[in-house]
Amino acid sequence: MKHIVETDETAFNRRSALEIAELIKQKADIRICFATGETTKGIYHELAELHRHEGLDFSQVTAFVLDEYEGASADNPASCLARLNDQLFDRVNIKKSNISAIASTSKDLHQISKEFEQHIGQAGGIDLMLLGIGTNGHIGFNEPGSPFHSTTRVVPIGEDTIHARAEMFGSREDVPKTGVTMGIKTIMNSRQIFLFAKGVNKAAMLEKALCGPITQDIPASVLQLHPALTVITDEEAASGLPYRPMNY
């Protein structure tokens, strides 16, 4: 595991974007899975700035969207795809045909899940998985108790996520109670994983995920087993760790 610690949010966003950009430069046709959330919002802004000011090229990048709410189309500004379009995809030169999102408005989400998993395999797998971590240890919509052998599937939306998205959807009652997410196995099959965390509210869970037992009760703990995991945090998120991360 490689662990990078930056002093504050600005440095965290910039360093995270630079690490992603370096991999894009190394492999122009890289396949990246993008998560959404407050942790990655600033990172995507910095990536868009790198494209705008330094010519970072997304024209051959293939993008996958990690998860989606049931019934939330790209026209819904609260959907994962709409937020990624707003934060990054519409601000860079990625081809729309190279963006793969979960068709969560379909009547048969179980079939959609199966087809999406197959599509990942047919594309050659994911080169780089971008993840945040929930305060309960979730990654994607994989809540505590998610089996480590799980692939893309229909899942209930966790209470933490419902609470966090209440304002965006209009009210707590309007947040979909079901979604589709890449599973733990799908995530772990990625060639590289970047895990991002910022803020003191993530410190306790990050310590459990990186240093505690590997357990389905903390889905992110399985990332300890990945051979190419990079963790990028600010100092607040790293404050609960029993070791002093080395900054690379």
- What is the domain-level CATH number for residue 105? 3.40.50.1360
Counting every residue written for the chain, the total comes to: 248
Could you tell me the residue range of the domain that residue 186 belongs to? 2-230
Structure tokens at 99: 């963006």
Query: Per the residue annotation, which of 68, 138, 234, 236 is the catalytic one?
Result: 138
Structure confidence by residue, pLDDT tens digits, 77-131: 999 999 999 999 999 999 999 999 999 999 999 999 999 999 999 999 999 999 9
Work out the number of other CB atoms within 10 angstroms of the CB of residue 103. Answer: 17
In a domain, 236, yes or no: no
Q: Which of 19, 143, 234, 236 is catalytic?
A: 143
Whether 111 is in a domain gets the answer yes
Q: What percentage of residues in the chain have a pLDDT greater than 70?
A: 99
Residue 241 in any domain: the answer is no
- State residue 168's pLDDT score: 85
The active-site residue, picked from 49, 136, 160, 189, is 136
Q: What's the number of domains the chain is made of?
A: 1
pLDDT higher than threshold 60 for residue 248: no
d(CA 79, CA 98): 18
pLDDT digits (tens, 9 = 90+) for 143-168: 999 999 999 999 999 888 888 888 88
143 is catalytic: yes
Tens of pLDDT, residues 168-227: 888 888 888 999 999 999 999 999 999 999 999 999 999 999 999 999 999 999 999 999
Residue 245 lies in a domain: no
Q: Which of 6, 19, 67, 68 does the annotation list as catalytic?
A: 67
In a domain, 238, yes or no: no
| pTM tops 0.85, yes or no | yes
Q: Report, as an integer, the average pLDDT of 244-248.
A: 64
Burial class (CB in 10 A: 0-12, 13-18, 19+), 124: exposed
Q: Is residue 248 part of a domain?
A: no
